[in-house]
Amino acid sequence: MVLPRAVVFGEALTDLVQGTPGQWMGYPGGAPWNVARALSRLGVSSAFAGSVSMDSLGDEIVSQSEAAALDMRFIQRVDRDPLVAIVPSSRPPRYFFAGDADLFFDPDLMPEGWINQAELCHFSCISLARQPLADRLVKIARQAKEAGKRISYDPNWRNLMDSHYREQTFPTMITLADMIKLSDEDLRQIYPGLTEHQAMDELRALNPQSQILFTRGEHGMILHTPDSQLDQPAIAVKVEDTVGAGDACMAGWLAAELLGIADLRERLQFSAACASISCRHAGAHAPALADVEGLLQLLKHT
């Protein structure tokens, strides 16, 4: 039985966003699910391991998962209320969460032997701050690490990440991860009052060997390795919105390694191209490999 190379754990949800007062739109999303879809569209056999509701909102997530060619054996359906992020305002950002379908993910229902074939396990966002799911996922991360798998982690800070998350879950995941992505906003929330340099020292004390990708939106990104620091400017495109750009960036960075791109600078450029392509589209767009390669070719000739 062929199983995916990358397994992404966490939540899939529906964003209910209010534009003009009284006008709401629903968009399937969730950072882990966004990363899983993008990985698959970039040519890496991937799965999203999480649970979704059995109603029309869950149906849409499942439909878009199938369209992205995710391995559907890892998605679980549960008869619970759908997880919804309710966003009354995008500027300034205001949001809260409702529903609990994500909390009923059962690791014992995953395909037998999945951990033997997986090369990479990715974890992120609110799934690591919602119990009892969080403890289950940390346990999986530990098991995968012990099995010699690469672990990646993107905190993707949200307002429900409490002191337990800050003091226990976050340092545990940093210690386990081989590849860590943080945005400038994440760093401000997790290490309030510290400079970027001081915060990076804190991370390095927890995990001296990891690669740390620090993203700064339109100002590009910096890759910190144990012995080097590489800068990658943002790739300018016409921006529709920036929703999901960080998830596309994360997927691009992971995919670049799994696709065999050896040079770290080329991996960074691939990741930046994924983020920029996502910004061309409304919502959390998952970039396709052909589009990324097209943008990179265009850069070579400009």
Confidence of residue 174 (pLDDT cuts 50, 70, 90): very high
Q: Over pLDDT 90: what percentage of the chain? A: 68
CA–centroid distance for 211 within its chain? 16
Which residues are CB-contacts of 224 (< 8 A; sequence separation ≥ 6)? Answer: 200, 204, 211, 212, 213, 214
Q: 5 is written with which tokens?
A: 């190379």
All structural domains of the chain:
6-300 (3.40.1190.20)
pLDDT band at 279 (very low <50, low <70, confident <90, very high): low
Mean pLDDT of 185-204: 92
Provide the pLDDT confidence category of residue 284 given band limits of 50, 70 and 90: low
Q: Say if residue 129's pLDDT is above 90.
A: yes
**Mean pLDDT score across all residues of the chain:** 90
Mean local confidence (pLDDT), 183-190: 91
Structure tokens at 178: 């081989």
Beta bridge partners of 181: 213
Looking at residue 235, its pLDDT comes to 74
- pLDDT digits over 213-258, tens only? 999 878 888 999 998 899 988 777 676 555 667 888 999 999 999 9
How would residue 26 be classed by pLDDT, with cut points 50, 70 and 90? confident
What mean pLDDT do residues 137-142 have?
A: 98
Residues 149-172 pLDDT 10s = 999 999 999 988 999 999 999 999
5, pLDDT greater than 60? yes
Q: How far apart are CA 290 and CA 227, in angstroms?
A: 33
Contact partners, residue 161, CB within 8 Å, separation at least 6: 126, 129, 155, 170, 189
